[in-house]
Chain A
Amino acid sequence: MANARKLGITPTRMTSGGTITFRKLRVLTNNTLAINVGDAVKATAAGDIVACASGTDEQLLMGSVAQGAIFTDSTGLRKEAKALPAATTYTSSGAWPENASYVYTVDQATLCEFEINIANSAVALTDLNLNYPLVLTASTTGFSKHEANATGRATTSTFPLRLREFVQRADNDISLVDCKGIFMINAGQLEPVTSAYTGT
């Protein structure tokens, strides 16, 4: 049967065992892109995080995956939600102000295994253990439209993802396009051990 195209990046398990935990990271005021649940995020040189955007981010390091947000809305109401809307503003100073926007991201992201839709073509056994770029379609629904891209895989060593396993589930036909794969971050930003982000 044809696979349903399921978008967004879903943390599924820690490769070391245990439960998935989250870390709160700051988003600067007036964020350009919304950060949806399941979006890939990246750290900037300013210490904040932003949603990965279509274009060069698709083939560069990713930091983690957003799983919720806390922010102050336009009426001044402090709220927790699954997504941080674009252009959320606040006025404050300091490194970690209370009224700032924050996103809950998957902690130990390089040790987390993510389920991601593989777009554009079917996978074969030889596609396992290869590096994959992302497709970073913007979303305004609160739910991410990010997915892995089968096109151009294994052409660059620093692509953000690596396919580790196929999802074995009755609703996933591994031989067809939009197969779901279990990925780990291939080139991450936020974890000290595997960091390739220099901060400069």
Chain B
Amino acid sequence: MENTAALYGLIEPVTRKYFGLEMKAKPAQFSQIADVNDVDEPIRDFVEVGGPGMLSFKAENAAIVAGQIKQGPIKRVQAATFAGAIQISREAVKDVKYKKVVSAATSIGRATRLTPEYLFAQFLDRSFDSNFPVTADGVELCSASHLLPDGVTTVSNILTAAALSESSLEDMLTALRTVPGPDGMLSPEEDKQLIVPSALHNLAEKLNRTPQSLGSNYNDVSVVKGTKVMTFDFLTNQTRWFIQTTNMNGIFWDYRERPEFIRDNVALTLQAVFVAFFRAMWGCEDFRGIFGSNAV
């Protein structure tokens, strides 16, 4: 081993293998909610454009009443870098402490795999916090005050403080159908999945599976049976729940650079250094992509 470069040659296959194995150890949960993309730009801009609204009656030979297309506020999100590193000494390699090397590579693989989950959970945990505006209209993800491009009309995508139950889920599914689009005209949404924290998993599954109303003596039919359940175990808040809609422009997670595991260089330490990192940005273009209940 004539220099540190040779050290990398000895252990890089090992670190790379175990980093990769750990990265694939379990499927990501957040990617079952967010629309995950690979992008070329480190920024993403989005804006709602509304109008012209309903078409007007035009009498014969009369001029058309042209409505106006209105542009709402613009939101920009920027990719952020998240990184960690491991240092492996020449001594450890020469002493054939491969278990230590494997353990280090596995640990950083696990960190790299789980960090997006925690970041995305934090994003959803802040859904009702006005300190964290997410959508282009400058309010939090789930708000009763989403603003349409007309600058006047407010729209809600919350069900205030209703604990998950058959009736609250019914109410939520009804609420989806009453939401207006950017032009103010109705834009009914349909549910894609019910997102719940770990504590609500069992109840959500019961609601999903039972063909009859829970706890009812009258053989009432459950209309929420079959609502797909997505249990997001990384959520901190254990009482809030969400309905993700089939809206195509809802919650996104854009990777500017997918998780990578690369060498780095250090001088005069007889160490091999490996760096794991990713660059990503996330957010919600259209608040109609998710409805939430701020249950406590």
Check if A and B associate.
Answer: yes
Residues of A in contact with B (beta carbons under 8 Å apart): 1, 18-21, 170-171
CB nearest to B234 among chain A residues: A170
> Does the CB pair A19–B273 fall under 8 Å?
yes
Shortest Cβ distance from B267 into A: residue? A18
What are 12 A-B pairs with beta-carbon distances under 8 A? A1-B125, A1-B236, A1-B237, A18-B267, A18-B269, A19-B87, A19-B269, A19-B271, A21-B269, A170-B118, A170-B122, A171-B118
Contacts of B266 in A (CB 8 A): 18-19
B185 at the interface (CB under 8 A from A): no
Given contacts A1-B236, A1-B237, contact A170 B267 (CB under 8 A): no
Query: A170–B119 contact, CB under 8 A?
Result: yes
Separation in Å of the B97 CB from the closest CB of chain A? 12
In the complex, the number of residue pairs spanning A and B with C-beta atoms less than 8 Å apart equals 19
Verify if B173 is at the interface (C-beta below 8 Å from A): no
User: Is A170 a contact of B273 with CB atoms below 8 Å?
Assistant: no
Which residue on chain A has the smallest CB distance to residue B87?
A19
Q: How far is the CB of A53 from chain B (nearest CB, A)?
A: 30
Please report the C-alpha to C-alpha distance between residue A21 and residue B89 in the assembled complex, in whole angstroms.
11
Task: Determine whether the beta carbon of B269 is less than 8 Å from that of A170.
Answer: no
CA distance A118 to B18 in the complex (A): 35
Instruction: Say yes or no: is B115 at the interface (Cβ < 8 Å to chain A).
Output: yes
Tell me if B121 is interfacial: C-beta within 8 Å of chain A.
yes
A20 neighbours in B (Cβ, 8 Å): 87
Establish whether residues A170 and B87, one from each chain, have CB atoms under 8 Å apart when the complex forms: no
Instruction: Give B11 Cβ to nearest chain A Cβ, in Å.
Output: 16
Of A1, A19, A170, the most chain B CB neighbours within 10 A belong to: A170
Minimal beta-carbon separation of B81 from chain A (angstroms): 11
B150 to chain A, nearest CB (A): 35
Q: Which of B185-213 contact A (CB under 8 A)?
A: none
Complex CA gap A20/B266 in Å reads 10
Which residues of chain B are near A171, meaning CB under 8 Å?
118
- Nearest to A175 among chain B residues (CB) is B131
Given contacts A1-B125, A171-B118, 11 further A-B contacts (CB under 8 A): A1-B236, A1-B237, A18-B266, A18-B269, A19-B87, A19-B266, A19-B271, A19-B273, A20-B87, A21-B269, A170-B118
Whole-angstrom distance between the Cβ of A82 and the nearest chain B Cβ = 13
Q: Among residues 227 to 276 in chain B, which have CB atoms less than 8 Å away from a CB atom of chain A?
A: 236-237, 266-267, 269, 271, 273
In the complex, the answer to whether B115 meets A170 with C-beta atoms within 8 Å is yes
Contact with A along B87-126 (1 / 0, CB 8 A): 1000000000000000000000000000100110110010
Q: For the complex formed, measure the closest distance between the CB of A108 and the CB atoms of chain B, giving whole angstroms.
A: 12
Q: Which residues of A contact B121 (CB under 8 A)?
A: 170
Contacts of B236 in A (CB 8 A): 1
> Which A-chain residue is minimally distant from B271 (CB atoms)?
A19
Contact with A along B44-60 (1 / 0, CB 8 A): 00000000000000000
Write out the residue numbers on chain A whose beta carbons fall within 8 Å of the beta carbon of B118: 170-171
Q: How far is the CA of A21 from the CA of B273 in the complex (A)?
A: 13
CB distance from A7 to the nearest CB of B (A): 20
Q: How long is the Cα–Cα vector from A20 to B236 in the complex, in angstroms?
A: 33
A72 to chain B, nearest CB (A): 20
Residues of B within 8 A of A170 (CB): 115, 118-119, 121-122
